[in-house]
Amino acid sequence: MQISTHELKSKIIESLKLQDITPEQIDDDAPLFGTGLGLDSIDALELVVLLEKDYGIVIKDIEEGRPAFRSVQTLADFIAAKRPQ
């Protein structure tokens, strides 16, 4: 089942304590790391915790999550595909 990217953006903002930014300002396809939101490897680990806590998806190797962490859209697709039913 597809999940709302708006909801996902709110969760990302909250869990990463992003400052001065609203879900509306994050483009679904913009890169999360490097240039885009400027996140780093520690933020990726926080996203791993978020995936487990809110969606029950366990990632044991950060390489496994790397393609999913490209953008909000890829993350939403990853969650939809991996989420336990």
Partner 1 sequence: MAARSPVITGLGIVSAAGFGTAEVWRTVAAGASGLKPLTLFQSPRYGQIPVGEIQRDLIALGVPTRSSRSDKLGWLAAREAIADAKINFQNCGDRAGILLGTSVGGSYDSELFLATLIKRGKMRARPTRFHECSTTVDLIAESFGLFGPGMAIATACSSSALAIAQAAEMILSGETDVMLAGGADSLSRMTWGGFHSLLLVDATGCRPFDVARGGMSLGEGAAILVLESEESARRRGAKILARLSGWGMSCDAYHATAPHPQGAGATMAMQSALRRAGLEPSAIDYVNAHGTGTRDNDVAETIALKTVFHNRVPPFSSTKRIFGHALAASGAMEAVVCVEALRHQELPPNPGFTKCDPAIGLEPVVELRHAPLTHVMSNSFGFGGNNGVLIFSKAETTPQTRVPKKIQVVVGGIGVIGPGAVTIKEIGAPLPPGKGPVHSCGVLKDAAMLTPNQRRRLSRLQQMALITARKSLEFSGAGVSPASCGNFAGELTGKMPVPLRIAVAIGTGLGCLEDAGAFIENLVAKDEREPMPARFPNSVHNSPAGQVAIDQSARGMNSAPTVGEITFECALWQGISQLANDEADCALAGAADETDKYLLSIGQRWGAWDDKIMPGEGAVVASLLPAGKIASPLARVTVVKLGRYRKPFDAAREAEWIAAAVDLSKVEVFMSGAKGFRQLEPMYESVAAALSERAGKKLAHQTYKQLCGEFHAASAFGFSLAVKLAHEKNCGVLLYTLSQRGAKALCLVQP
For residue 77, the minimal CB distance to partner 1 (Å) is: 22
- How many residues are given for the chain? 85
For residue 53, the minimal CB distance to partner 1 (Å) is: 5
Could you tell me if 37 and 30 are in contact, meaning their C-beta atoms sit under 8 angstroms apart? yes
In this complex, which beta carbon is closest to partner 1, that of residue 57 or of residue 59? 59
Nearest of 57, 79, 62 to residue 2 by alpha carbon:
79
For residue 42, the minimal CB distance to partner 1 (Å) is: 5
In this complex, which beta carbon is closest to partner 1, that of residue 1 or of residue 84? 84
In this complex, which beta carbon is closest to partner 1, that of residue 43 or of residue 79? 43
Binding residues (CB under 8 A) for partner 1: these are 16-20, 38, 40-43, 45-46, 48-49, 52-53, 59-62
